[in-house]
């Protein structure tokens, strides 16, 4: 199906089902229950799941296949966002031209950075990409203010030309379908939100995931694995790895630009903070947590980190007091004080501890954890069937 073998087709179908059913799956608790705090089925967070999933999928094509660790991919994310907002300012709020320009601009930018950075390998390559990202951040923040609007950020104003707007909506849209349009369905105590913006991002994420599968299974992907395995030996065969590495770098940068364009399509605002080194470090964490070099790992890692960032950071002391209100006063204060260190403003500590545990006990990331669970259940089923006497 679509040029994929049975295993990859099954994986693509499973990801598609989970993605399209996410508004239901991510709302397991009734809206008025105390545990509704852990629901993640609201539009903004779901959009971030799939957008940063695209970002991580693209990064994994570079890091997972070639082993080249880039700390500068936030530059392409920011360039994509700025390009999309400029399309909104000049043409219209239609997201299609904005997304196309964001991918093209990020790809051109990646050619320049990759051509220079790939002259070195290992830690020197990582430092070069980090330097380029920080240069881009400083340019956007202070030097190129006529283009980026500096620290205020680039946004769309009522006096912008928007030459192709016509009678179109005053918000981002897909040929008239507003990104923020929400269909709210209430069933018993549950509330499910279905939005145009999420499903557009979800479809693009599935297409990006499919393309990543094709790259992984292609001769080009095998060449990238050969570069990761032993680049010196590849040089001895007379094959130059640099064109393949540059192609992987550019493809990865275009994925990042696509993610940046989608972020701007959901909220037509671009700021220099998207180009900071912390954003580059975040995508590295996403890929490692999910599973470097795996197909599904980057998507899982992106969802994991964005869930922790948005859910755990909202749990403040008032929420904790409501949870432990049945405890005696002294014990309640002690328990709330303890848990407050790991949520709210301290959610980074929780994420750090989770990251340490996964790296120590699951070097292959969340994907390895899922594989271990599957093997454990498979072994139990096999043992059970072998212990059953034959009739």
Domain ranges of the chain: 6-294, 315-391
The whole-number pLDDT of residue 218 equals: 93
CA atoms within 13 A on the CB side of 378: 6
The whole-number pLDDT of residue 1 equals: 64
The yes-or-no verdict on residue 390 having pLDDT over 50 is: no
Kindly report which listed range (5-9, 33-37, 130-134, 303-307) carries the lowest average pLDDT score.
33-37
The whole-number pLDDT of residue 237 equals: 84
- Is the distance from CB of 275 to CB of 342 less than 8 angstroms? no
Average pLDDT across the chain, whole number:
89
- Please return the burial class of 344, using the count of CB atoms within 10 Å of its CB with bins 0-12, 13-18 and 19+: middle
> CB neighbours (10 Å) of residue 357?
10
Counting every residue written for the chain, the total comes to: 391
Going by CATH, does the domain composed of 6-294 fall within 1.10.3470? yes
**What is the pLDDT averaged over residues 84-107?**
95
Q: For 268, phi and psi rounded to 5 degrees? A: -70, 70
Residues in Cβ contact with 77 at an 8 Å cutoff, skipping those fewer than 6 apart: 55, 256, 257, 259, 260, 263, 274, 275, 279
- Is the distance from CB of 74 to CB of 275 less than 8 angstroms? yes
Q: How sure is the predictor about 36, in pLDDT bands with cuts at 50, 70 and 90?
A: confident
Going by the DSSP 8-state scheme, the letter that residue 161 receives in this structure is -
The yes-or-no verdict on residue 388 having pLDDT over 60 is: no
213-214-218 Cα angle (round to 5): 120
- pLDDT above 90 covers a percentage of the chain that reads 54
**What is the pLDDT averaged over residues 200-204?**
96
Question: Is residue 28 helix, strand or coil?
Answer: coil
pTM of structure: 0.92
Per residue in 76-86, pLDDT (tens digit) is 999 999 999 99
- Is the distance from CB of 296 to CB of 15 less than 8 angstroms? yes
Per residue in 307-333, pLDDT (tens digit) is 888 888 888 888 888 888 888 888 989
């Amino acid at each position: 199906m679509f040029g994929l073998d049975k295993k990859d087709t099954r994986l693509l179908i499973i990801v598609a089902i989970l993605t399209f059913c996410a508004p239901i799956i991510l709302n397991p608790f009734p809206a008025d229950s105390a545990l509704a705090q852990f629901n993640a089925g609201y539009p903004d967070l779901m959009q971030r799941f799939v957008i940063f999933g695209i970002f991580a999928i693209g990064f994994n094509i570079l890091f997972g296949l070639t082993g080249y660790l880039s700390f500068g991919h936030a530059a392409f994310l920011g360039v994509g966002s700025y390009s999309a907002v400029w399309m909104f300012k000049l043409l219209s709020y239609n997201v299609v031209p904005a997304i196309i320009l964001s991918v093209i601009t990020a790809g051109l930018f990646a050619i320049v950075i990759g051509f220079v950075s790939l002259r070195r390998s290992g830690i020197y390559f990582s430092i070069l990409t980090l330097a380029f990202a920080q240069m881009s951040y400083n340019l956007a923040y202070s030097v190129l203010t006529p283009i980026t609007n500096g620290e205020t950020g680039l946004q769309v104003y009522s006096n912008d030309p928007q030459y192709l707007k016509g009678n179109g909506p005053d918000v981002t849209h897909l040929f008239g379908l507003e990104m923020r349009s929400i269909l709210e369905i209430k069933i018993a105590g549950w509330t499910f939100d279905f939005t145009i913006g999420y499903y557009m991002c979800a479809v693009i994420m599935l297409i990006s995931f499919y393309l990543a599968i094709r790259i992984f299974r292609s001769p080009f992907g095998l060449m990238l694995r050969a570069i990761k395995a032993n680049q010196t030996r590849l040089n001895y065969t007379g094959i130059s790895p640099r064109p393949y590495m540059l192609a992987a770098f550019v493809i990865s940068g275009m994925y990042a630009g696509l993610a940046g364009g989608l972020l701007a399509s959901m909220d037509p605002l671009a700021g220099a903070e998207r180009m900071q080194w912390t954003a580059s470090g975040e995508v590295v964490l996403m890929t490692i947590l999910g599973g470097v070099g795996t197909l599904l790992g980057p998507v899982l890692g992106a969802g994991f980190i964005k869930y922790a960032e948005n859910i755990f950071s909202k749990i403040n002391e008032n929420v904790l007091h409501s949870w432990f209100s049945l405890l005696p006063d002294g014990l309640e204060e002690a328990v709330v004080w303890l848990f407050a260190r790991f949520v709210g403003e301290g959610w980074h500590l929780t994420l750090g501890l989770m990251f340490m545990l996964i790296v120590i006990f699951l070097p292959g990331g969340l994907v390895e954890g899922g594989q271990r669970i599957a093997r454990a259940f498979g072994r139990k089923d096999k043992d059970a069937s072998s212990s059953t006497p034959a009739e």
